Structure 1
Amino acid sequence: MSEELRARIEALEPLAELGPELTPEETARYARHLSLPGFGVTAQRRLKAAKVFVVGAGGLGSPVLQYLAAAGVGTIGLVDDDVVEVTNLQRQVIHRTENIGKLKVDSAAEAVKAVNPHVQVETYTERLSAQNILDIISKYDIVVDGTDNFGTRYLVNDACELTGTPLVWGTIFRFAAQLSVFYPGVGPTLRDLFPEIPDPSSVPSCAEGGVLGVLPGLVGTAMATEAIKLLAGIGEPAIGRVLIYDAWKMSWNTLNLLPDPDREPVRDLSEAAFVCAANPTEGADDPAALRNESGLQVIPEQLADELTKPGRVLIDVRDDWERDVVLIPEAIHVPLARIQDRNWDAVTEALEAHGIKPELVETVVLHCKAGGRSGQAQQILNQAGVEGQHPQTKNLSGGVLAWAEKYAPEAPSY
């Protein structure tokens, strides 16, 4: 860390104003805070006056909301337009089984009030956009980003840079996580770490790639810690540092990060807004096929007609266990990992194993759960193929979930 950055961090003032005197009930509730050296009544009164905006009531948002509420943050804003699903419950511990089908913001608000009735919860069910985000976050002292998709992460980051609002950022995938604090005007931001918005198809979503259920609990709690430190003006926040956690090895590493002096400052939200608009349903399960530029698409309504044509085959690139949940009967199984390893040879071997002559196949339609992995497979095959020597590829937009919604509604979601 540079001396200039360290000096800026040391000069930071608490984000929250000094709030009203604590009531006797609050004094009892927060007694373990009040006895902390360097914390005490002053920091607790700042938390009482603090306003925190939490983006997402999912895996990361769950512990963030619970611990901010328990700590005594006076006002918590929460945005999420999703509903509770059974697959959420493995890691989104703020929700309960009886809340399946309920709006996540309503489920989470109930849980927050159950933890601490002194907390005011402000809920937003609309999707964040370039039209509403600046007005919303300008009402809060700090933003905590618990989203799970690139578009919204950059939209939040860019809005925070434009408004000068500190941002606590975290991301999780499988067994790994990253965490940092982006403080505009003080230290680096997300665009100093990752200048360009990645293609959504370049990384599977948590729904497709999986995530260890306890991982967001650990990382979300650390994010809540950073928010509390900044609000109360205690400790050294993780500005200019990216903390990298590996649950598989139980290890933490730190990457030092400085602002890029050559980076153009964020001047508007147009780029992030475009990515969000191009992926209108991202967040639940990244439908990368909707914006995959590597080839042609097929919507579920076209699939049956497509497969009746000569020389068409359907290939399922999912893992074995997913085929036990829901299955398109005509699909031939070729896992993505096999395509990544052997590209067209993997397809050819699977066709021959099913008694299909590869030279008679004109079009291969690929599908996965929601379109992301099949989009990757399509890109691999298109790049590896030689024009005229390999079949055309198409991707089933929305994957097996979109197909099942129309043609197998009794099939379980996952």
Structure 2
Amino acid sequence: MTVRSGHSGAAGQKYLESLTVAIVGLGGTGSIAAEQLAHLGVRKVILVDPDRIETTNLNRVVGARVSDVNRHKTDVAADMIAQITSDAECKRIVGDVTRTAVARELRAADFIFACTDSHGSRAVIQQIAYQYLIPCVDMGSIITARAGQIAGIHGRVQALAPRLPCFTCCELLDSEEVRRDMMNAEERSKDQYIQGAHEPAPAVISINGTVTSMAMTMFLAMMVGVPSAARHLIYDARPPSLRSVSFTSNPNCYICSPRGVLARGDSQPLFTRDD
């Protein structure tokens, strides 16, 4: 997929309608992304998430109601999109993107929103973005606490595309976390290095909405030429501040360089699990 720019007005709207956009992860940020894409006029969406709505999700998953508890998040997101635009085409994939069969489904996308909270899933999505030349925007938010008090409220939005540094170049992936995320339940139970269960970072809908809106503007800048040059943004709610940051690509990176998986397509296996 080649990133285009300069589309405006009716031409830009028509182009958005022609795109197939994937959202990986339909929790706090992913559900908001689904809603905003529908309002923007995107008509073809691939929805990827392995989980069901739980009672604890209701305070942050847009479109979810008490009656949706135990329903797959993909179904809830698809219903929300259909209520906004009746002619939308939603492909629902209930599965983990770290699994090969699920990851391969993203090859049909023209753009990917990465809304996951694991290092393993981000590692897979970035490989797909560079290997298949599918532009992607990754987003995340986190609230940290210390001694029962909020210590930090942060958000990050980063574009992954040719000529832009990947997570690996930016040192944003923890190899130990990636290793763990690639394990199945039995392997985790036998791993002596894993202590206790992973606790997801707390988040609230206001910070998720801020981060997702920044990601959506970045998407519009990359695809239809909205005049915004930022491709890696860091948001801090406390000062408050929003800043653009830059990193240098490693010319020997095994992901985003020509010596790595860049533009290799199906000739390069994905670093995923087959089970």
TM category, shorter: 0.7 to 0.9
C-alpha distance in 2 between matches for 1:199 and 1:214: 31
- SS of the residue 2:112 aligns to: strand
Q: Which of 216, 226, 232 does residue 234 from structure 1 map onto? A: 226
Amino acid at match of 1:82: D
CA distance in 1, matches of 2:211, 2:39: 17
Amino acid in the other structure paired with 1:255 = V
Q: How does 1:80-99 map to 2 (within 5 A)?
A: 80-99=49-68
Task: Extract structure 1 runs of 4+ deviating beyond 4 A.
Answer: none
Correspondence 1:142 to 2:111: yes
Q: Report Cα offsets for 1:75-95 as digits up to 9, x if no partner.
A: 011001100011112221231
Superposition pairs for residues 189-268 of structure 1, below 5 Å?
A: 189-194=166-171, 196-200=173-177, 207=200, 209-239=201-231, 242-265=232-255, 266-267=260-261
Alpha-carbon distance, 1:257 to partner: 1.9
Q: How many residues align?
A: 238
Secondary structure of 2:272's counterpart equals helix
Amino-acid identity (%) = 21
- Give the counterpart letter for 1:164 in structure 2: L
Could you say which structure has the higher helix fraction?
1
Which of the numbers 1, 4, 8 marks the counterpart of 1:13?
A: 4
Partner of 1:182: 160
* Amino acid of the structure 1 residue aligned with 2:104: D
Deviation at 1:99, TM superposition (A): 0.6
TM-score normalized with structure 1 length: 0.53
Rg larger in structure: 1
- Displacement, 1:198? 4.0
Inter-partner Cα distance in structure 2 for 1:255 and 1:82: 33
Change (3 A) 1:152 1:181: same
Distance 2:222 2:198 in 1: 30
Deviations 1:74-133 (A, max 9, x none): 201100110001111222123122111111100111011111213211110122235225
Match of 1:308 in 2: none
- CA RMSD between the two structures: 2.7
Compared CA separation, residues 180 and 99, structure 1 to 2 (3 A): same
Instruction: Name the amino acid aligned to 1:94.
Output: G
Q: Is the partner of 1:192 in helix, strand or coil?
A: coil
TM-score normalized by structure 2?
0.77
Conservation of the 8 A alpha-carbon contact between 1:91 and 1:214: no
Of 66, 88, 101, 2:70 maps to 101
CA-CA distance at 1:157 after TM superposition: 0.7
Structure with more contact order per residue of length (Cα contacts < 8 Å, sep ≥ 6): 2
- The 2-side partners of 1:258 and 1:251 are apart by 23
Asked if the contact 1:154/1:197 (under 8 Å) is kept, the reply is no
Q: Which runs of 5+ in 1 are unaligned?
A: 1-10, 16-37, 278-414
Match of 2:31 in 1: 62
Label 1:12 to 1:47 Cα distance change in 2 as closer, same or farther (>3 A).
Answer: closer
**In the superposition, relative to structure 1, how do residues 43 and 119 fare at CA in structure 2: closer, same or farther (>3 Å)?**
same
Q: Deviations over 1:364-384 (max 9, x none)?
A: xxxxxxxxxxxxxxxxxxxxx
Letter in 1 for 2:17: K
| AA at the equivalent of 2:251 | P
> Match of 2:56, SS?
helix
Q: 5+ unaligned residues in a row in structure 2: which ranges?
A: 144-152, 178-193, 262-267
Give the aligned partner of residue 186 of structure 2.
none
The whole-number CA distance in structure 1 between the counterparts of 2:237 and 2:47 is 28
How far off its partner does 1:263 sit? 2.2
